[in-house]
Amino acid sequence: MNPEQPVPYKGNILVVDDHYANLSLLTQVLSEQGYEVRVAPNGKLALKSVLATPPDLILLDIMMPEMDGYQVCDRLKANKRTREIPVIFLSALGEALDKVKAFDVGGVDYITKPFDPVEVLARIKNHLRLREVELKLIDQNALLQKQIESRRQAEVEIRLLLATTQAISRCDDVHSALAAVLRLVCITIQWNYGDAWIPSNDGKVLECSQGWYASDASFSDFRHQSLCLKFGSNVGLQGRIWTSKQPEWIEDIAAEDEQSFLRSQIAIAAGLKAAFGVPILVNDQVLAILIFYKKTTAATSSRLIELVTAVATQLGALIQRKQIEDTLRIAEERYHSIVENAVEGIYQATPSGRLLSANPALAKLYGYDSPTALMTSLQDISQQLYVDPNRRNEFVAAMETDNAVIGFESMIYRKDGQKIWISENARAVRDAQGHLLYYEGTVSDITARKLAQEALKYQKEQTERLLLNILPKPIAERLQEQPQIIADSFSEVSVLFADLVGFTDFSSQKSPTELVEFLNLIFSKFDLLSQKHGLEKIKTIGDAYMVVGGLPTYREDHAEAIARMALDMQASLDSVNNKLGQSFCLRIGINIGPVVAGVIGLTKFIYDLWGDTVNVASRMESSGIPGEIQVTSAVYERLKHKFALKKRGDIAIKGKGEMTTYFLVNSHESTG
């Protein structure tokens, strides 16, 4: 070894031996090999040294005065701070029982004196390497556990959001929807009680909703007393949230005064100690306030507030829809009640389709001045009344089958030709022998309900269309059918990154509106190209564009499709340059390989890709040349028979080292 060259540091070793000669020899041998050596002539000093500065490894003699090596090792293994330090025993004791005892007290190895320095160095090196691997595994395991917990938490939150949506859709009214949500949230976040507060009809106070949840029956008194309370603006927890439209958390109810928490006494009596509330907002209007309670004090949790706020946001639109549906349902129930009391249309008609009788309400419904005018004009119901001439035959067929119809909906013509929707409840009237005499029934106008249903249907279609603009269609369908985290592995796809060269300088000379209009022009053309070639656009980042071929639905020719897309992108940009008098060019990178694709996010879903294939494709773009399409060797091998490619050579790629890359020039088809 050249003495002028420093020996690299290998670790800190504590040598414990009551013989100076051994300490001196081991210190010399270990120091020459790059180890930092500390010595201790007895067990007590060794323990103090270890506690002050824990070494990486300990060489420990057994036979020492006052405290032998076994006792020292036993003390070390009993201390949480020092128990993981590897201990190698060095001793003249060579009996098997001595060695067994050394291992029993926690030693990792046993070397018999006199020792061979080479053997000592080899064993030290081996145990330090094992310790290093063990520490790495511990760190990796801790990181993995953290990631697993994070994923588990995210999955719980997503499941809660999806379960909330499904539960609300099954509820008949707002109060039952609130009860379903309160139950799901309380069970998920493990809180004990939840209730909801809704503005009164005049909007002056908050009233306790019929919907609530309690983990056990001990909260019945608290619930009963809550029903008697009302809160005005800025009064109590509910009133403050109503006014501020912001969540609020109370860590310890007992620490609050009566003015800030009006239910503090009855809450404490019920054993409740912490509370928080979240508003349900739609168009900046508070539809309701959700309040949750726990039997133990609880520190403010921003993540919990964010989760329940997400649920409240989702719940807001659904409550609004439920309120509309409830309003329509109640209005229709009242309407039919009036019909049954002879306020709405009532008729009797022959099986052939001629009216025998009608009341004024029916005449008015059909647009006539009187029942006489109606009966005189309407001689054939099937031909004159129903928009669908076959509808009357369907009505008769239903009557023959069931002897009655309920909610028989049809579109009809009024006298002035206007089309409206009606609902008929009718029965067949027969004589004693069972012969059909006539039909009688009631008619109600359900046009408003039909329009509302169409509006709700349109809203749903718009929502689904918006989802398809965010996620690929197969992914969106899976997310709707089976609400769970989506993560798929694909053995081979083609990934393209493109960057608009010169855009940074261009952006400094343009207004924000002009920049957005310009990027929208170019990226819209790229979007059309991705649709043309059957590829999946992943995202845009600033002036960069990412597209992939071969997922979520696999196709054999994904590499050819992505290559044609790249060539078309260059041609499309040239067309824009000619039109606008600009000189932009693209720097494009392409790679082929396996990826993992999935949906991430809670409130704003995004479909994204991960893996080394993606990273290399990005490096192909960033290390490329403006105006060129740089591809990897894997892409070259796939395309070389159908496309013209030019070898660039070996270039340094960050994180990968030297890589051979090529430029995609054109397609053999385009060159004839």
List C-alpha distances in Å: 37 to 12, 89, 115, 431.
6, 16, 18, 115
Which of 62, 65, 51 shows the shortest CA–CA distance to 87? 62
pLDDT value, residue 5: 58
Instruction: Identify whether the C-beta of residue 516 lies closer than 8 Å to the C-beta of residue 507.
Output: no
| Rounded Cα gap, residues 512 and 287, in angstroms | 37
pLDDT value, residue 490: 87
Domain 471-667 top-level CATH class: alpha beta
pLDDT value, residue 493: 93
* Start-to-end Cα distance in the chain: 68
- For residue 386, give the DSSP letter: B
Residue 451: its H or E element: helix 447-470
**Tens-place pLDDT, residues 93-112:** 888 898 899 999 999 999 98
CATH number of 171-323: 3.30.450.40
Instruction: Identify whether the C-beta of residue 387 lies closer than 8 Å to the C-beta of residue 411.
Output: yes
pLDDT value, residue 563: 94
CATH number of 342-451: 3.30.450.20
CATH of 11-136, one of 3.40.50.2300, 1.10.150.20, 3.60.40.10, 3.30.365.10: 3.40.50.2300
Instruction: Identify whether the C-beta of residue 605 lies closer than 8 Å to the C-beta of residue 599.
Output: yes
pLDDT value, residue 145: 85
pLDDT value, residue 339: 44
Q: Classify the phi-psi angles of 46: left when phi > 0, otherwise alpha if psi is within -120 to 50, otherwise beta.
A: alpha
Residues of the chain with pLDDT under 50: 1, 335, 339-340, 672
Instruction: Identify whether the C-beta of residue 177 lies closer than 8 Å to the C-beta of residue 205.
Output: no
- For the chain, domain boundaries: 11-136, 171-323, 342-451, 471-667
Whether 471-667 and 342-451 are alike in CATH topology: the answer is no
